[in-house]
Amino acid sequence: MQANLVNPWDLKCRGKAVTEWNEDAPNCVYTSDNVAGWTGTLPFQFLLDRSVANLFSPPSELRQPNVTRSIARRAIWPGRNPFDDPLYFPVQISSAPAYTGSVTSFVTARSYDISYAPLLTSRVTWFIPSDPIPGRYAIYHGGHGDWIRSVETLEPDNIDWLLQRGWQVIAMDMPLVGSNSNDRTGALKDHSSIGLFDDGQDSPLSLFLIPVKTVTDMIEEDAGKNELTLLMMGTSGGGWTSFLYSALDPRVSIAVPLVSGLPKSLRLKKSGGGLVSDYEQQVPNLYDVAPYEDLMRAAGSVGSFYYYGLVEGVWGDPGVDFVKYLTDGTLLLQKHISVYVDPTSTLHAISADGKIALDRFLKSLTLEFASSAYKVMENERVATINVKLDAPSPVRLSVDYAATAGTATADVDFTPVAGTLTFEPGDIEKSFTLPVFANPTNQSERTVYLALKHASGAILGRTSRAILTIFPPGSRRRAIRGGV
């Protein structure tokens, strides 16, 4: 099961570098003079005909995410699994040395070591921004890179990007790379060697996933009573981890795999057999029963955003049919699945244009009040409260609302209301009304608390809570000057 390691940037097609490939590439034999574990020149044959329709065959049946989740969990953990029986998978969490890297957009950072069988340690760092949005967390997975020290792969930039948008970020790597290079067994050289732990029982993939599950448990506890919104984002192998773990755990609201895995039909094939890919991307007892296609559609209980650039042509090409297959899941599964292919990017990372597209995608999922403060004169009898979506969504979204007493008295100053607002595809604003009454015994300003909760197909924005102020007669000028 162990893969041979290939540096894809060394592959050549008819003497051309990867950035020079064009439409005549499909039938190339790619060669490399620098392939770990091999001597001489190793030939590769491109599996992909650029008219992808000839090779990509979608699964014949539509699998719902919960079915894919159940099948994948059984494939990785044939007996007990950590979601149903966490005590069977013990971990130890301890403090780790303070963070000293190049991420800057945080006020506090605390690091942990998560120790788990078979005696491997995973380093994670929890960053808190200056103005966090309640309940909003992101796991950032650096994959094969080193998110602490890396500049080439732009991991710190991605973490800062999330922090600047109000996400608490918990950053981590794969086992035995980057910050997680410690191996107390002395048996492993790199994370591909984890295949040596395949004992025919739990899959070695468990070693990639248990630390993420532990971090998710920590996040859920930290969120407390706040409605949890969890985004999982990663680059390369971290993108693979993001869509696989997000398919296994419905607590992950949004999956954002960047420059990550492709199905077997879209990957390079070694002329001697086997695919150009890492160990974790070709474990047959998982992918034979839970194909990449199903796992990618299942990732993220609210939605997913997949990003590919030019360099991903080394391993394969997303192709129009595969992109369509993923995005068709938007309507079939009623959750927003978006794919952005940037043919101009030569980075093995998300480009500036890709981040603009990601920002737009997140806005299409974010519901919040149009204002944090509403005002009404009591003799107007009714207040209108607006709820907005920053960008139209292709699927139906809904959110519950409630109005409860602040300094105002229920059924004397106002009628408490609760209900659900539904946004059809294309809608960007909905409203509800709140009856208010004249109260001659109380001529002061009174407040009503407004709240959004239980977003479905969406996430809550920064302004998920607001205040309505009821003004008595004679306060009209002050009310008008006050805003909404």
Range among 112-116, 121-125, 175-179, 427-431 with highest mean pLDDT value: 427-431
pTM of the predicted protein model: 0.86
Residues 286 and 407 grouped into a single domain:
no
Segment 447-472, tens digit of pLDDT? 999 999 999 999 999 999 999 999 98
Within 13 A of 8's CA, how many CA atoms are on the CB side?
A: 20
Q: What is the pLDDT of residues 43-93, one digit of tens each?
A: 444 433 333 344 566 777 788 999 999 999 999 999 889 999 888 888 889
Distance between CA atoms of residues 372 and 368, nearest Å: 9
Domain boundary among the residues 363, 390, 421 is at 363
Domain termination site, one of 308, 341, 363: 363
Same domain for 58 and 202, yes or no, is yes
Domain region containing 15: 8-45
State the distance between the two ends of the chain, measured CA to CA, in whole angstroms. Answer: 63
Would you state the pLDDT for residue 228?
Answer: 95
At residue 15, does pLDDT exceed 60? Answer: no
Instruction: Identify whether 1 is part of a domain.
Output: no
Q: Does one domain contain both 250 and 398? A: no
In this structure, is residue 181 part of a structural domain?
yes
State how many domains the chain has: 3
330 and 207 fall within a common domain: yes
- Shared-domain flag, residues 29 and 94: no
CA distance 279 to 97: 30
Same domain, 257 and 134: yes
Q: Are residues 304 and 401 in the same domain?
A: no
Same domain, 37 and 116: no
Distance from C-alpha of 243 to C-alpha of 296, rounded to nearest angstrom: 6
Scanning the structure block, which residue is given the tokens 């997140």? 362
SS3 of 131-191: the string is: CCCCCEEEEEECCCCCCCCCCCCCHHHHHHHHHCCCCEEEEECCCCCHHHCCECCCCCCCH
Instruction: Kindly state the tokens that stand for 292.
Output: 């990449």
Q: Are residues 279 and 404 both part of a single domain?
A: no
**Residue 445: inside a domain, yes or no?**
yes
pLDDT in tens, 84-113: 988 888 888 999 888 888 899 999 999 998
Per-chain mean pLDDT for the chain: 81
Among the candidates 317, 337, 363, a domain finishes at 363
Determine the Cα–Cα distance for residues 11 and 31; give it in Å rounded to an integer: 5
Per-residue pLDDT reduced to its tens digit, 154-180: 688 999 999 999 999 999 988 877 777
**pLDDT beyond 70 at 11:** no
- Same structural domain, 14 and 143: no
Cβ neighbours of residue 464 closer than 8 Å, sequence gap 6 or more: 134, 227, 367, 368, 369, 451, 452, 453
* CATH classification of the domain holding 83: 3.40.50.1820
In a domain, 3, yes or no: no
Residue 2 lies in a domain: no
Backbone φ, ψ for residue 76 (5° rounding): -80, -40
Residue 14 sits in the same domain as residue 91: no
Bridge-based pairing state of the strands 254-258 and 303-309: parallel
Same domain, 267 and 342: yes
**296 in a structural domain:** yes
pLDDT digit string, tens, across residues 281-306 = 878 789 889 988 899 999 999 999 99
Does the pLDDT of residue 484 top 60, yes or no?
Answer: no
* Residue 396 within any structural domain of the chain: yes
Q: How confident is the model at residue 272 (pLDDT cuts 50, 70, 90)?
A: low
Question: Any idea what the CATH number is for the domain that residue 454 is in?
Answer: 2.60.40.2030
